[in-house]
A and B are shown apart, each in its own frame.
Chain A
């Protein structure tokens, strides 16, 4: 059982380039999330998807787009990367019941130069 898998693990982009972070979960959960983690700021929600076919903005959505491709996959796209988007990105998915423990992917380290 892989849980939450995200790729790539590391990426360096030039300002203005675009890229997509991929996330997949094999737990049959409805909800999926994208967070970014910056020093001293904890985790901030970028976008979330409560179910297949729906997406909603979180705290810091500017500069990002998402796609909930199917129940398993939730991708995060940076259309025109900026240095301010240098961060660690985590995909996550909570249990639908039983306390909603959140399962996290391994993280994607993104540097925009």
Chain B
């Protein structure tokens, strides 16, 4: 059974601190996606990771992929309030099927 697990589910962090969100998946894949969702809004693409060892950075967010460990991380550096949102990882499989994690609700506290 395909499973995509994110942790933590809820994350409250102070501005200026660093933290990492983890995404584990059960079946081999070389396509991993990170999305951001603001309350009441749709999902916005953040990163697409397509190979083992891929690392992408945008502002205070950095995503990486280890396909051997079936693990992706989303690292937040020096958090600011604007990063408060729910973050989802999704894993792509053959046939253009995508499975999403449960999401991590991030709150950055001033």
Contact = CB atoms under 8 A, between A and B. Distances in A.
Contacts of A34: none
Interface stretch (A16-24, A73-81, A103-111): A103-111
Interface of B: 4, 6, 9, 31, 33, 41-43, 45, 48, 50, 88, 90, 92, 95-103
A43 B42 contact: no
Given A42-B88, A100-B31, A102-B90, A94 B96 contact: yes
Given A45-B99, A99-B50, A107 B45 contact: no
Nearest to A98: B48
Contacts of B9: 40
B95 A50 contact: yes
13 contacts: A31-B96, A40-B102, A42-B100, A42-B103, A45-B97, A45-B98, A94-B96, A94-B98, A99-B31, A102-B33, A102-B90, A102-B98, A103-B45
B88 A100 contact: no
Which applies to chain B's interface (DSSP): helix, strand, loop or mixed?
Answer: strand
A104 B92 CA distance: 15
Nearest to A29: B96
A2 interface: no
B30 to A, nearest CB: 11
Contacts of A35: 100
A69 B78 CA distance: 48
A50 B102 contact: no
Given A42-B101, A43-B90, A100-B96, 10 more contacts: A33-B98, A42-B4, A42-B103, A45-B98, A94-B96, A99-B48, A100-B48, A100-B92, A103-B45, A106-B42
Contacts of B43: 43, 90, 102, 104
Given A40-B102, A42-B103, A99-B31, A104 B96 contact: no
A101 B42 contact: no
